[in-house]
Amino acid sequence: MSQLATEIILNPSEREFPPFSLTGLLGTVFEPTEGCRVCILIDLEKPETESKGMAFLENDSYTVQRKAYEEFYLGLKKGAMDQLGMTGGEMFAIPMTYGSNLDLADECYDMEGRQLSLDGDIYPNYDLVLCITTYSATAPLTAKCKVFGFRGATLHGLNDVILNTGLAVDYNEVSSDAEKLRLALTNADEIEIDFTLEDGRVLTASLGLDGQDAQKSHGLCKGTAPDIANLPAGEVYFVPVDANGQFPMKYEDGTLGILEVKDRSIISSTLIQGNQATIDAHNQRLADDPMTGTLGELGFGTQVLPVSGADIQDEKVLGTCHLATGRDDHLGGDIVPDMFKKHENSTHDDILFAPHKTPNFDISQVRMKRGDQREILIEHFRPSEYLLEALRS
C-alpha cells in the first residue's frame, strides 16, 4: 500500500513527508525531460504593467505568483533545468480569468512587459508548460495541449502546505494507489451519497454512471504524448450521466442551502441558515443559465494529505468526495463552453465535502452499485474497509 500503513491512513497527521524537490517532482512527473524546453505561466490582474521588471513581486497579495517565482522560476534557474537536461525557464503572465477553468485570453506578457500570444509564441515553442495561477486553467490547457502538442501541469492555489506535502510525495506511488482505487470503483452503475445535517435530516444524492470506466488524476505525465497533469494529484473520478436527489451546499459567505437535483442538474436552492440573498442569487443564476447547474464530475480523493486550505489539494484527501458543476470537456464529458449563455458562466466549479470545509454536515455514507455488487465506500469521511483492502492489494 505504497508504504502507508492503515493506521496512518486513519490518522493522516502522523504522516511524514520528505523535503520538496523541484528536480524530483518534475523528473518524476514528466520523464523524460532531456531536451525539453520549459516555461512558467502566472496570472495577474494587470499583466501589461505588473509583469514589467517583475513588479508583481512588490504586491503582497500575489502569494501564489510569488511561490511560482521563488520555488519554480528560481528553482529552474538554480539547477533544476541543468539536472533534468531542460532549457528555457522563462516566465510569462496572463490576464486573471476570475473563474475556475475559463478559457484563457490569447494575450500574455514576458517579464519585460512585452505583449505576446499564447497560440503564436508560447504553446508552439515550449515542450513543458507549468501554469501556477490563482484560478485553475486545467480545462483550457488540456484543450490547447492537444492542438499544439505540449505537456504541462496546472498548480493553481499553490501555498506552503501544498509545496511541502502534496508536491513532496512520490508520484509513482500516488499513481499506483490511484489505480488501485480506480479498479475498485470502475464500471460503477450508481453512487449514492447520504448527507446528515445538524438537525438530523438525511439528504441523499444519487449519481448515475452507466457502468463507465473510472478515470484517475494521478500526476504522471510521462512520455511525449500531449497531456496536462493537475497537481497535487490523487483522485478517481466519473462524469455523471444522471443525478437526482438533494445535497447540501456551503456557500463562500458561510450560508448553508439544500440543492435540489433532477436529471443531472441543480434546479433550485433553499436556505438552511445564513443569507437568503445568497440563495436568491444562486437561484437567479440557475434560472438565467441552467447549464451552470449541470453536474459534470463526481470525484474521490486517494491520498493521505493534511488540509491545505486550497481545494486543489484538499479534494485529493482519502475519505473526501466532491461534485463539480459546469464544463467537463477536459474530463471527457459533453459539457463545453459554447453551451453556456455567457463566457464567464462556463466554469468548472468543485463542491468539496470534507470535515474542515463542511463541518455543518456529515457524509454519513457513500455507497456503490456495480451490477449485483454493493459496497460501502466512505462513512463519516473515513474510507471503508473495501477501499482500504483495495489499497493493500
Q: What is the pLDDT of residues 170-189, one digit of tens each?
A: 999 999 999 999 999 999 99
pLDDT score of 15? 84
In this structure, the answer to whether residues 242 and 366 fall within a common structural domain is: yes
The owner of cell 478515470 is: 215
Rounded to whole angstroms, the Cα distance separating 362 from 214 reads 25
Rounded to whole angstroms, the Cα distance separating 185 from 377 reads 9
Number of Cβ atoms within 10 Å of the Cβ of 13: 8
Question: Quick one: 303 exposed, middle or buried, by C-beta within 10 A (0-12, 13-18, 19+)?
Answer: buried
Beta-strand relationship, 37-44 and 128-131: parallel
Q: Which three cell numbers stand for residue 106?
A: 490569447
In this structure, the answer to whether residues 228 and 152 fall within a common structural domain is: no
pLDDT score of 11? 66
Judge whether 105 lies within some domain.
yes
Q: Which three cell numbers stand for residue 374?
A: 454493493
Please state the separation of Cα 100 from the chain's center in Å: 10
In this structure, the answer to whether residues 184 and 96 fall within a common structural domain is: no
In this structure, the answer to whether residues 182 and 152 fall within a common structural domain is: no
In this structure, the answer to whether residues 341 and 354 fall within a common structural domain is: yes
Judge whether 227 lies within some domain.
yes
Looking at 165, 182, 217, the residue that finishes a domain is 165
297 pairs with which residues across the strands?
324
Rounded to whole angstroms, the Cα distance separating 172 from 219 reads 8
pLDDT in tens, 369-384: 999 999 999 999 999 9
Rounded to whole angstroms, the Cα distance separating 94 from 106 reads 8
Judge whether 3 lies within some domain.
no
- Asked if 349 and 291 count as a contact pair (C-beta separation under 8 A), the reply is no
Looking at 107, 137, 165, the residue that finishes a domain is 165
Judge whether 8 lies within some domain.
no
Judge whether 231 lies within some domain.
yes
In this structure, the answer to whether residues 141 and 174 fall within a common structural domain is: no
pLDDT score of 3? 45
**Domain of 104: which CATH number?**
3.40.50
What are the C-alpha distances in Å from 102 to residues 180, 218, 257, 299? 32, 23, 25, 20
pLDDT score of 252? 93
In this structure, the answer to whether residues 333 and 298 fall within a common structural domain is: yes
Question: Quick one: 225 exposed, middle or buried, by C-beta within 10 A (0-12, 13-18, 19+)?
Answer: exposed
Domain range holding 102? 18-165
In this structure, the answer to whether residues 359 and 297 fall within a common structural domain is: yes
The owner of cell 447540501 is: 248
Judge whether 185 lies within some domain.
yes
Mean pLDDT per block of 10 residues along the chain (393 residues) reads 53 83 98 97 98 98 98 98 98 97 97 98 98 97 97 98 97 97 98 96 98 97 96 97 96 96 97 97 97 96 94 95 94 93 92 92 97 98 95 92
34 pairs with which residues across the strands?
none
Sheet strands side by side (includes 235-238):
215-217, 235-238, 295-301, 321-326, 348-353
Judge whether 13 lies within some domain.
no
pLDDT score of 7? 54
In this structure, the answer to whether residues 248 and 268 fall within a common structural domain is: yes
| Residue 53 phi, psi dihedral angles, 5° rounding | 65, 20
In this structure, the answer to whether residues 140 and 252 fall within a common structural domain is: no
43 pairs with which residues across the strands?
94
Helices (H) and strands (E) in the chain, counts: 12, 20
3-state SS class at 41:
strand
Count of the separate structural domains present in the chain: 2
DSSP assignment letter at 32: -
Please choose, from the candidates 367, 267, 279, 270, the residue with its C-alpha nearest in 3D space to the C-alpha of residue 325. 267
Judge whether 11 lies within some domain.
no
Q: Please enumerate in sequence order all residues whose Cβ is within 8 A of that of 251, keeping only pairs 6 or more positions apart, or say none.
A: 257, 274, 275, 278, 282
Looking at 136, 165, 194, the residue that finishes a domain is 165
Q: Please enumerate in sequence order all residues whose Cβ is within 8 A of that of 212, keeping only pairs 6 or more positions apart, or say none.
A: 187, 188, 238, 239, 241
Please state the separation of Cα 292 from the chain's center in Å: 18
Q: Is residue 273 within a helix (H) or strand (E), and if so which, with residue range?
A: strand 265-273
pTM of structure: 0.94
In this structure, the answer to whether residues 149 and 198 fall within a common structural domain is: no
In this structure, the answer to whether residues 104 and 62 fall within a common structural domain is: yes
